[in-house]
Amino acid sequence: MNLVSQYFRSAFSVDSVIFGFDESDLKVLLIYRGADPYKGTWALPGDLVRLDEDLDESARRVLKELTGLSNVFMEQIHTFGKVDRHPMGRVITVAYYSLVKISDFKINPSSWAKDAKWHSINKIPKLPFDHNEILEFAKTKLKEKVRHQPIGFELLPEKFSLTEIQHLYESVLEIEMDKRNFRKKLLAMDLLVDSGISQNAVAHRPAKLFSFDKKKYKSLIKKGFSFEL
C-alpha cells in the first residue's frame, strides 16, 4: 500500500450531545447500544458518516434514526481524534450539541439503539469511547453560551416565574445562585415583560409571571451580552 492510500483508511463519525430541560433539571439524551462495540452500554447517539453525505446531514440522520428526534437545531462544537478512541480502527468524530425542551419531543429509539432515555446531568454513567470527554466539553460550551446569549424562550412555559428561570440557569451552570442578585441582574437586562398575572393553585405565595420581550430577546441572541453571575 502506498503512502497516499494510507491516508484514506480513516473513518468519520458524528456524535450528538442533546441537552434537555424539563423545568426542573438539566438532562442529556443517551441511547442503549444494541450493537458492538460496547454493546449493552449507554452512550451518546452517534454513528459513522456515510460516504455520500455531509457532516450536518449525517448528524441529523443519525439522531433521527437512533432516537426519533428531528427538526433539532444542532451546533458543531469540536472534533475528537485520539488515535485509539475507537477499538475497531481510526475513527475521527465531529461532535454536535443542542439544548431543547424535553416536553416538545417524543423519543422513539430504533435501528441498533435498543432504548433512548433522558439522564440527569448529575447521574451520568461511564460511557464508551470518549463520550464522557465529549459530554464534558459540551457542558463547558453550554455554560459559556448561557453567559453570553439569553436562553429560556424555547425551554420555559410562555409565562414563567423568576424562580423557574433561575432554576434553568442553576441547572445549566451547576451552581446555586443568590436569589436577590440573580433577579437584580436579570431585570436589569430589560428583557422580561410583567404579564400582570400570578401563579394559581400553588401551596406557597403566588409568584408573578413574566414573559420574554420577543424583539429584545432576538436582538440579544444576535449581538450577545455579558451576564456574569
Q: What is the pLDDT of residues 196-223, one digit of tens each?
A: 888 776 656 788 999 999 888 888 877 7
Q: Are 178 and 114 in contact (CB under 8 A)?
A: no
The SS3 of residue 22 is: coil
Largest CA distance in the chain: 75
With a CB cutoff of 8 Å and minimum separation 6, the contacts of 160 are 152, 209, 210, 211
Which alpha helices (DSSP H) does the chain contain, by range? Answer: 3-6, 55-67, 131-146, 162-173, 179-188, 214-223
- The model's pTM: 0.90
pLDDT at 67 exceeding the cut of 90 = yes
Per residue in 27-50, pLDDT tens? 999 999 999 999 999 999 999 999
